[in-house]
């Protein structure tokens, strides 16, 4: 069903990419350039409003009556409408429930999220106007002397006779009428393109619309930030002169900063310690070896100065809005499987602590960082930078008078894949509060499971090492990983393994969990059969847990037990070369990979990973809706964790855990467990 569609163009003195949508929209300098809209999609008649025009009464009447509006990346339209149209112009506000998003629809259908990308992928008759990128560079921010990209766009328009030389002095907005007319046309074309792609995509199921609306509300709530502590941390992290001086001293002036890659690599080689590269991984690996003292110290300084925590603290400060909160931290359906991704601060990817404050004073690091003094911090711990990196989660805090209540699913993917594989023996381990990692380790080391698990519970060091191996095996081998890749997989966890030992572990794993092997084969068989027999349904089993494949329209659909479908666009069977050198027929499809729309090859293990992550995501989706209905306002989700911000004295960890583990009928027999905590600051 086509919906009324709207697209806005704005300009501001605030950088949208740096500040984020909410902070950008609320800034006093942010204003509309134009609003294009179509209230009757059948007619495709697009109207345009620009500042100075009479109010668009037809649009405002539609809004006031509670009518739905669709937009591409609609949170931008929601924020700009709220802060500009409603608060500045006095127009009726548009509730989040009134919005629908064509970007959400495209991503939920396995298509690119950008308007240009999805229009190309769908081969739409109406494509996005490519001149828009240059128009935005020139019209949407003030003229800057030092902006090379803006100057290039200005020169392009000058060469086309659409702009006079030096259109504005630096600091002023360009408002050349010729370019504005092109912007108005671009604005209207975007509306037509959005309606075109919306008409070509399957509709989102009700459950997905519901969770997308909740996702928008979560992003709009935002997360409260301890701003003074963030500012103090940044001051400390900027205090690096002593480290730079030390680098110069150690190298005898061979290089002046830790960023001079080639000079440092040559110096290390001259000191008898050649490095394979200068990435974080290369440096980390080199530091595990026996290095000359000066080389080791230089590389450790490089680690300190290159920590992502420095950038994350600045990103927090850049994005915190006037209400003290960072908004829009999650991205709906970022992954093909439907899992959420991060935006801005990237809370999905915060560094794990390497040092911890005393248990009797958990806020010590925060209070030390708040001073902004490296000397004060290092009076308690020798490395202020390590303290800052370890405390970054604590900068996310509940608002005054509130607490966080959080719970995280335990081993959700392992539970789901054994459930999909009908491996009741493995599922019993979870139902009995056992440990699947110890079960796996027992098979690898040829020991008794119960004895090993008992030793692990008693904190026996040898049992802990073996369980760690079992965990790494489960994380890698559930999805048909081969022996060579498993060696590299183990190395990423600090475990050294020979190829021969890896082959043994892979064989043991597949013998122990034969039903996983059967699931991989059945998934690939059904997917290939569906592509070769368009319109027919192929099921992995006869049970309600079955994955059902069907090739319909331009998509191979994989229907999950929840009823949701994964979409594989433009599927076909191609001859491909395997990693072991053989040639075989394999399923390929189009998807977004590293930002590009390209063809990918898949196989049974990869399909198993897709459906497992998708089912785990649907478990989280259902839990989020239930948690919200129980008046636990969610402020973010991180992987399999729900974080709610509640008034002090409200609710309990136990209630949140119970609600999250109360699975829907479609997940009957899936043993769920969640572990939670309550506190004023975010932690892991």
Q: What is the pLDDT of residues 386-420, one digit of tens each?
A: 899 999 999 999 999 999 999 999 999 999 999 99
Is 75 among the domain residues? Answer: yes
Amino acid 504: pLDDT: 96
* Whether 316 and 371 share a structural domain: yes
- Say if residue 200 is in the same domain as residue 232: no
pLDDT on residue 167? 60
Query: What letter would DSSP give residue 578?
Result: -
**In sequence order, what are the beta bridge partners of 402?**
647
Residue 33, SS3? strand
pTM, 2 dp: 0.92
Residues 84/25, Cβ–Cβ less than 8 Å:
yes
Tell me what percent of the residues of the chain surpass a pLDDT of 90: 80
Residue range 591-633, pLDDT digits in tens: 998 888 999 999 999 999 999 999 999 999 999 999 999 999 9
Average pLDDT over the chain, rounded to an integer:
94
| Domain match, 31 and 125 both | yes
Range of 39's domain?
A: 5-204
Rounded distance between C-alpha atoms, residue 460 and residue 284, angstroms? 29
Q: 410 lies in a domain? A: no
Among 376, 338, 297, residue whose Cα is nearest residue 611: 338
- Label residue 44 exposed, middle or buried (CB < 10 Å: 0-12, 13-18, 19+): middle
Position 168 scores a pLDDT of 66
Q: Domain boundary residue among 492, 512, 532? A: 512
Among 76, 102, 93, smallest CA distance to 5 is for 102
At what angle are helices 424-431 and 436-444 packed, to 10 degrees?
130
Determine the pLDDT at residue 349. 87
Return the top range by mean pLDDT from 144-148, 388-392, 575-579.
Answer: 388-392
Alpha helices in 514-652 (DSSP H): 514-532, 604-629
Separation of alpha carbons 571 and 553, rounded Å: 10
* pLDDT tens-digit series, residues 192-205: 999 999 999 999 99
List pLDDT tens digits, range 363-380.
999 999 999 999 999 999
Q: Which of 153-157, 217-221, 612-616 has the lowest mean pLDDT?
A: 153-157
Domain match, 391 and 494 both: no
541/519 Cα distance (integer angstroms)? 9
User: What's the CA gap between 646 and 403, in Å, rounded?
Assistant: 5
> Is the residue at 26 inside a domain?
yes
- Listed residues 467, 482, 512: the one ending a domain: 512
Q: What is the pLDDT of residue 205?
A: 94
Q: Is the domain of 256 the same as that of 325? A: yes
Report how far residue 303's alpha carbon sits from residue 506's, in angstroms, rounded to the nearest whole number.
Answer: 35
Residue 493 confidence (pLDDT) = 87
Element (H, E) at 121: helix 115-121
Is 492 strand, coil or helix? coil
Query: With contact defined as beta carbons under 8 Å apart, do 407 and 642 qualify?
Result: yes
Poorest-confidence range of 352-356, 553-557, 657-661? 352-356
Q: Supply the DSSP string of 167-192, one letter for each residue.
A: -S-TTS----HHHHHHHHHHHHHHHH
pLDDT surpassing 70 at residue 68: yes
- Rounded Cα gap, residues 489 and 669, in angstroms: 31
Q: Is residue 362 part of a domain?
A: yes
**Is there a contact between 600 and 610 (Cβ–Cβ < 8 Å)?**
no
CA 136/CA 557 separation, integer angstroms: 38
Q: Could you give the 3-state DSSP secondary structure of residue 597? A: strand
DSSP alpha helix (H) spans, 421-537: 424-431, 436-444, 449-457, 461-477, 483-491, 499-512, 514-532
Local confidence band at 544 (pLDDT 50, 70, 90 cut-offs):
very high
User: Would the pLDDT of 307 be above 80?
Assistant: no
Question: Residue by residue, what is the 3-state secondary structure of 376-435?
Answer: HHHCCCCCHHHHHHHCHHHHEECCCCEEEEEEEECCHHHHHHHHHCCCHHHHHHHHCCCC
Q: How does residue 305 score in pLDDT terms, banded at 50, 70 and 90?
A: confident
**Is the Cα dihedral 661, 664, 665, 667 positive or negative?**
negative
Q: Report the C-alpha gap between 604 and 519 in whole angstroms.
A: 8
In this predicted structure, what is the pLDDT of residue 95?
A: 96
When pLDDT is averaged across residues 264-276 and rounded to a whole number, the result is: 91
| Separation between Cα atoms, residue 664 and residue 182, nearest integer Å | 52
SS3 241: helix
Q: Is the separation of the CB atoms in 395 and 230 below 8 Å?
A: yes
- State residue 677's pLDDT score: 97
For residue 578, the model assigns a pLDDT of 74
Task: Note the pLDDT tens digit of each residue in 471-495.
Answer: 999 999 999 999 999 999 998 888 8
158 and 121 share one domain: yes
Q: Is the pLDDT of residue 308 over 80?
A: no
CB neighbour burial string for 487-501, b if at least 16 within 10 angstroms, e if fewer: bebbeeeeeebeeee
Task: Check pLDDT > 90 for residue 583.
Answer: no
pLDDT on residue 684: 84
Give the count of beta carbons closer than 10 Å to the beta carbon of residue 311: 13
Neighbours of 73 (CB within 10 A): 16
CB 595 within 8 A of CB 647: no
pLDDT at residue 580 tops 90: no
Q: Are 636 and 386 in contact (CB under 8 A)?
A: no
Give Cα separations from 267 to 262, 273, 279 (angstroms): 9, 9, 16
- Checking if the pLDDT of 306 tops 80, the result is no
State whether 507 and 379 are in the same domain: no
Q: How far apart are alpha carbons 439 and 421 in whole angstroms? A: 17
Q: How far is 3 from 98, CA to CA, in rounded Å? A: 11
Residue 522 within any structural domain of the chain: no
Residue 141 has pLDDT above 90, yes or no: yes
| Same domain flag for 146 and 18 | yes
**Nearby residues of 89 by Cβ (< 8 Å), 6 or more positions away:** 55
Q: What share of the chain is helix, strand, coil (3-state, %, to 5)?
A: 50, 15, 35
Q: Are residues 161 and 265 in the same domain?
A: no
**Residue 578, in any domain of the structure:** no
Token pair for residue 62? Answer: 């539609």
In sequence order, what are the beta bridge partners of 596? 593
User: Which range is least confidently modeled, 62-66, 118-122, 629-633?
Assistant: 118-122
Domain count, the chain: 3
Give dist(CA 7, CA 379) in Å, integer.
55
Distance CA 295, CA 267 (A): 9
Residue 634 lies in a domain: no
Q: Does pLDDT of 1 surpass 90? A: no
Question: 288 and 186 in one domain?
Answer: no
Closest C-alpha to 207, from 590, 677, 643, 622: 622
For residue 585, what pLDDT is reported? 87
Place of tokens 């960072």: 326
If you average pLDDT over residues 229-256, what whole number do you get?
91
**pLDDT at position 3:** 96
CATH number at residue 170: 3.30.420
Average pLDDT of span 567-575: 95
Helix (H) or strand (E) holding 152: helix 148-159
Q: Report residue 676 as tokens.
A: 């939670």
Using the 3D structure, point to which of 395, 415, 447 is the last residue of a domain: 395
pLDDT band of residue 663 (cuts 50, 70, 90) is: confident
pLDDT per position as a tens digit, 499-533: 999 999 999 999 999 999 999 999 999 999 999 99
- Name the nearest CA neighbour of 642 among 661, 663, 656: 656
Cα gap 124→120, rounded to integer Å: 6
Establish if 532 belongs to a structural domain. no
pLDDT of residue 494: 83
Chain segment 430-484, per-residue pLDDT in tens = 999 999 999 999 999 999 999 999 999 999 999 999 999 999 999 999 999 999 9
Q: Provide the percentage of residues in the chain whose pLDDT is more than 70.
A: 99
Is residue 243 domain-shared with residue 328, that is, in the same domain?
Answer: yes
For residue 249, the Cα-to-chain-centroid distance in whole angstroms is 41
Strand order in the sheet with 47-49: 47-49, 31-38, 5-11, 69-71, 99-101
**CA-wise closest residue to 171 among 33, 377, 29:** 29
Banded model confidence at residue 281, pLDDT cuts 50, 70, 90: confident
CA distances (Å), origin 391, targets 352, 355, 681: 9, 9, 10
pLDDT surpasses 80 at 19: yes
Whole-angstrom Cα distance, residue 530 to residue 85?
49
**β-strand partners of 99:** 69
**Average pLDDT value for residue range 47-57:** 97
Residues 391 and 434 in one domain: no
């Amino acid at each position: 069903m086509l919906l009324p569609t709207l697209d806005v163009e704005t300009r501001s003195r605030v950088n949208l990419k740096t500040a984020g949508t909410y902070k950008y929209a609320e800034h006093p300098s942010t204003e509309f350039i134009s609003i294009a809209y179509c209230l009757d999609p059948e007619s495709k008649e697009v109207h345009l409003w620009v500042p100075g025009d009479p109010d668009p009464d037809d649009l405002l009447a539609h809004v006031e009556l509670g009518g739905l509006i669709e937009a591409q990346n609609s949170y931008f339209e929601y924020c700009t409408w709220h802060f500009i149209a409603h608060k500045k112009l006095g127009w009726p506000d548009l509730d989040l429930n009134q919005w629908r998003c064509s970007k959400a629809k495209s991503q939920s259908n396995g298509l690119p999220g950008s308007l240009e990308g999805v229009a190309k992928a769908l081969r739409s008759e109406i494509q996005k106007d490519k001149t828009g990128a240059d128009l935005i560079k020139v019209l949407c921010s003030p003229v800057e002397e030092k902006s090379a990209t803006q100057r290039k766009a200005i020169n392009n328009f000058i060469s086309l006779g659409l702009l006079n030389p030096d259109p504005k002095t630096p600091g002023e907005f360009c408002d050349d009428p010729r370019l504005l007319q092109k912007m108005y046309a671009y604005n209207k074309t975007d509306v037509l393109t959005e309606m075109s792609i919306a008409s070509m995509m399957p509709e989102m199921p009700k459950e997905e619309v519901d969770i997308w609306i909740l996702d928008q509300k979560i992003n709009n709530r935002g997360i409260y930030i301890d701003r003074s502590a963030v500012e103090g941390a940044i001051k400390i992290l900027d205090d690096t002169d002593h480290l730079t001086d030390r680098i110069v001293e150690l190298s005898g002036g061979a290089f002046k900063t830790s960023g001079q890659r080639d000079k440092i690599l040559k110096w290390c080689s001259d000191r008898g310690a050649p490095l394979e590269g200068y990435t974080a991984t290369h440096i980390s690996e080199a530091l595990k070896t026996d290095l000359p003292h000066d080389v080791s110290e230089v590389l450790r300084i490089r680690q300190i100065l290159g920590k992502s925590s420095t950038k994350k603290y600045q990103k927090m400060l850049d994005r915190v809005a006037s209400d003290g909160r960072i908004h829009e931290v999650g991205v709906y359906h970022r992954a093909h499987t439907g899992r959420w991704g991060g935006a801005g601060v990237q809370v999905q990817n915060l560094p794990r602590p390497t040092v911890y404050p005393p248990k009797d004073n958990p806020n010590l690091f925060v209070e030390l960082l708040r001073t902004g003094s490296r000397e004060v911090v290092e009076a308690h711990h020798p490395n202020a930078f390590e303290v800052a990196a370890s405390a970054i989660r604590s900068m996310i805090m509940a608002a005054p008078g509130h607490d966080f209540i959080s719970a995280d699913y335990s081993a959700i993917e392992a539970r789901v894949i054994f459930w999909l594989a009908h491996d009741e023996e493995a599922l019993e381990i979870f139902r009995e509060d056992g440990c699947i990692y110890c079960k796996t380790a027992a098979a690898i080391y040829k020991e008794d499971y119960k004895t090993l698990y008992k030793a692990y519970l008693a904190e026996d060091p040898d049992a802990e090492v073996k369980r760690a191996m079992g965990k790494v095996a489960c994380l890698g081998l559930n999805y048909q990983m081969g022996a060579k890749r498993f060696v590299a997989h183990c190395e990423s966890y600090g475990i050294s393994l020979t190829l021969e030992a890896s082959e043994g572990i892979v064989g043991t794993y597949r013998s122990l969990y034969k039903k996983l092997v059967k699931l991989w084969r059945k998934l690939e068989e059904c997917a290939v059969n569906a592509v070769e027999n368009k319109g027919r349904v192929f099921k992995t089993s006869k049970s309600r847990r079955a994955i059902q494949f069907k090739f319909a329209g331009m998509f191979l659909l994989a229907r999950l037990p929840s009823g949701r479908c994964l979409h594989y666009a433009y599927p076909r069977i191609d001859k491909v070369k395997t990693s072991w050198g053989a040639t075989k027929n394999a399923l390929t499809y189009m998807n977004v990979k590293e930002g590009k729309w390209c063809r990918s090859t898949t196989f049974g293990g990869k399909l198993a990973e897709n459906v497992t992550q998708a089912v785990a995501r649907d478990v989280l989706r259902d839990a989020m809706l239930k948690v919200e209905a129980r008046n636990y306002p969610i402020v973010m989700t991180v992987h399999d964790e729900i974080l709610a911000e509640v008034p002090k004295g409200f609710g309990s960890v136990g209630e949140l855990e119970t609600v999250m583990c109360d699975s829907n009928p479609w997940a009957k027999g899936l043993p769920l467990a969640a572990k939670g905590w309550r506190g004023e600051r975010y932690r892991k």
